Structure 1
Amino acid sequence: MKLIRYGESKQEKPGIVDSDGRIRDLSGVISDVDGSTITESGLARLRGLDISTLPVVEGNPRIGPCVGNIGKFVCIGLNYSDHAAESGLPEPSEPVVFNKWTSAIVGPNDDVAIPRGSKKTDWEVELGVVIGKEARYISKEDALSHVAGYCVINDVSEREYQTERGGTWDKGKGCDTFGPIGPGW
């Protein structure tokens, strides 16, 4: 099942991609692809639909962020040894956690605004894990039961802001539009 959001920025509608690659409109079934619909029961309801009965979305609409109303955008840095080595940094003994602000979230093909004074804008493709139920102090064995789906993330960074100006990584990672997400699922 591939869920998407399509339409004008901040006015996206929920959709699902059928087996022929066409977008089907889900707005008669759910109001958005967000925390209320990516629960176990919400996804089970969507899996039970005969999507061939849903209206086909005509044309080539803009694809928005694959999830709406995101509460947290938590990222893990240096999450594999080759990346730490290519960055000239030691492999961390604990996860390097940083955030992207929710204003960083845009659709996968939307423009990215380069901040004034940027000298080292960079990007990496990452696997996004969409969490579908509250997750706090869970065991490693139970972790996947909290995953609702996956998406592509374009982790845009301003490396000078991130590593050469002291402080946290957030200021080089969380700029507006620095978190294009989707498509997903």
Structure 2
Amino acid sequence: MGILRKLTKGIQAFSNEVNKPSSFEKGEEFENYVREYLFPIEEYDLVHKTHDYHSNNGDYVESSLKPDFKFRDKKTKKEFYVEVKWRKGYYNRQHKVEWCNGQQLRRYKAIDKKEDKVFIVLGFGDKPARPEEIILFPMSSCNYTGLYDSFLDNYSFYVDKPVFSSYLWKLK
């Protein structure tokens, strides 16, 4: 009975992985990139990370409504959230980038105001593990689900470089 149960769980795990939507896969890849390169373990403690697709697929974890990460700056001890969004391709400078929906915008604004500061990291390019453009902005500066280049250009950030706390806390 134990072997059959293990075999069934293994088949179910394989099936879940095969059936995971591509958008979740790419989002998770970009989240891993953000943790490794922008908010590395040497500079930031990981306080919270939202649950992955598989955890939420069967029994949705309510804390997954929070932004993707909560970090603690090792130098200042300040805690903050980071929401990560991946967009394939490049943003067209004549059109806006829809980075979230209205419900998410209201939720992130409320968290930013009532709990801890929220920062948004947008990644663009062909591969989420190797983005070609990074945008980093504070939620307090954003009031719309669609952003134009006049906004995005102010928050362009270096690819593959860590975010220094002195830079982060000066963002407006």
How would you bin the TM-score normalised by the shorter chain? under 0.3
TM-score normalized by the length of structure 1: 0.25
Answer 1 or 2: which has greater helix percent. 2
The answer to which structure has the higher strand fraction is: 1
